[in-house]
Amino acid sequence: MAASERIVGESRAHRSGVNLVLWAILILFVLTAPAYIYPVFAMQLLCFALFACAFNLLLGFTGLLSFGHAAFFGAAAYVTGHVIKIWGLPPVAGIFVGTAVAAALGYVIGSLAIRRQGIYFAMITLALAQIIYFLGLQLPFTGGENGLQGIPRGHLFGIFDLDRPLVMYYFVAAIFMIGFLIIYRTIHSPFGQVLKSIRENEARALSLGYNVTRFKLIAFIISAALSGLAGATKSVVFQFASLTDLHWQTSGEVILMTLLGGLGTIFGPVVGAITIVSLQHELSSLGSWVNVVIGLIFIVCVLAFRRGIVGELARLLKTSSM
Amino acid sequence: MFEMGDFILEARSLSKEFGGFAAVRDVDLAIRRGSIHALIGPNGAGKTTVFNLLTKFLSPTRGSIVFEGRDITSLKPADVANLGIIRSFQISAVFPHLTALENVRVALQRKLGISYHFWRSPRVLEGLHGEAMEKLASVGLANFADSPAVLLSYGRKRALEIATTLALDPTLMLLDEPTQGMGAEDVGRVTDLIKEVSAGRTILMVEHNLGVVSRLADAITVLNRGRVLAEGPYEAVSRNPEVMEAYMGTSAEDADG
- CA A113, A118, A122, A127: dihedral to nearest 10 degrees? -60
Q: Is A212 close to B107, i.e. CB distance below 8 A? A: no
Percent of chain A with pLDDT over 70: 94
Q: A259-279 pLDDT, tens per residue?
A: 999 888 899 999 999 999 998
Q: Is B116 close to A218, i.e. CB distance below 8 A? A: yes
Q: What backbone torsions phi and psi does residue A317 show, to the nearest 5 degrees?
A: -90, 0
Q: A81-131 pLDDT, tens per residue?
A: 999 988 888 989 999 999 999 999 999 999 999 988 888 999 999 999 999
**B193 pLDDT tier (thresholds 50, 70, 90):** confident
Pair (B176, B110) in one structural domain: no
Question: Smallest Cβ distance to A8: which of B82, B110, B146?
Answer: B146
Domain-located, residue B59: yes
Q: B103-151 pLDDT, tens per residue?
A: 999 999 988 888 888 888 888 888 899 999 988 988 888 899 998 999 9
Pair (B223, B244) in one structural domain: yes
Nearest chain B CA: its distance from A258 CA (Å): 19
Pair (B20, B137) in one structural domain: no
Q: Please report the DSSP string for A25-74 in residue order.
A: HHHHHHHHHHHHS-HHHHHHHHHHHHHHHHHHHHHTTT----S-THHHHH
Chain A (103-162) residues lying within 8 Å, Cβ to Cβ, of chain B: none
Domain count, chain B: 2
Is the separation of the CB atoms in B185 and B154 below 8 Å? no
Q: A138-184 pLDDT, tens per residue?
A: 888 887 777 788 888 877 787 877 778 888 999 999 999 999 999 99
Amino acid letter, residue B119: W
Pair (B250, B240) in one structural domain: yes
Domain-located, residue B181: yes
Domain-located, residue B156: no
Q: Is B57 close to A11, i.e. CB distance below 8 A? A: no
Q: What backbone torsions phi and psi does residue B92 show, to the nearest 5 degrees?
A: -60, 125
Q: Please report the pLDDT score of residue B117 as a whole number.
A: 86
Is the separation of the CB atoms in B15 and B61 below 8 Å? yes
Question: Smallest Cβ distance to B117: which of A189, A205, A210?
Answer: A189
CATH of residue B195's domain is 3.40.50.300
Q: Is A209 close to B168, i.e. CB distance below 8 A? A: yes
Does residue A294 carry a pLDDT above 60? Answer: yes
Pair (B190, B105) in one structural domain: no
Contacts of A197 in chain B (CB under 8 A): 95, 98, 106
Is the separation of the CB atoms in B146 and A4 below 8 Å? yes
| Parent domain of B131 | 96-151
Domain-located, residue B126: yes
Domain-located, residue B157: no
Q: Please report the pLDDT score of residue A13 as a whole number.
A: 67
Nearest chain B CA: its distance from A212 CA (Å): 8
Residue of B nearest to A222 (CA): B118
Question: Smallest Cβ distance to B118: which of A206, A208, A222?
Answer: A222
Pair (B31, B55) in one structural domain: yes
Q: Is B142 close to A1, i.e. CB distance below 8 A? A: yes
Does residue A220 carry a pLDDT above 50? Answer: yes
Is the separation of the CB atoms in B139 and B190 below 8 Å? no
Q: Is the dihedral of CA A179, A45, A246, A260 positive or negative?
A: negative
Does residue B181 carry a pLDDT above 80? Answer: no
Is the separation of the CB atoms in A189 and B117 below 8 Å? yes
Contacts of B120 in chain A (CB under 8 A): 189-191
Pair (B78, B112) in one structural domain: no
**B21 pLDDT tier (thresholds 50, 70, 90):** confident
Domain-located, residue B1: no
B36-40 and B219-224 beta bridge pairing: parallel
Pair (B70, B83) in one structural domain: yes
Instruction: State chain B's mean pLDDT as an integer.
Output: 85
Q: Is A188 close to B164, i.e. CB distance below 8 A? A: no
Nearest chain A CA: its distance from B247 CA (Å): 30
Q: Is the ipTM of this complex over 0.85?
A: no
B7-18 and A155-156 beta bridge pairing: unpaired
Q: Is B146 close to A196, i.e. CB distance below 8 A? A: no
* Orientation angle between helical segments A165-188 and A190-200, nearest 10 degrees: 70
- CA A11, A16, A17, A22: dihedral to nearest 10 degrees? 130
**B251 pLDDT tier (thresholds 50, 70, 90):** very low
Averaged pLDDT for residues B25-43? 89
Q: Please report the pLDDT score of residue B200 as a whole number.
A: 84
Domain-located, residue B121: yes
Pair (B231, B251) in one structural domain: yes
Element (H, E) at B204: strand B202-206
Pair (B78, B101) in one structural domain: no
Query: Which residue of A10, A57, A184, A197 to mutate against B (max B Cβ within 10 Å)?
Result: A197
Q: Is A1 close to B148, i.e. CB distance below 8 A? A: no
Does residue A2 carry a pLDDT above 70? Answer: no
Domain-located, residue B202: yes
Contacts of A186 in chain B (CB under 8 A): 118-119
Q: B86-96 pLDDT, tens per residue?
A: 888 877 789 99
A222: left (phi over 0), alpha (psi -120 to 50) or beta: alpha
Query: Which residue of B53, B85, B115 to mutate against A (max A Cβ within 10 Å)?
Result: B115
Q: Please report the pLDDT score of residue B252 as a whole number.
A: 43
Averaged pLDDT for residues B4-30? 86
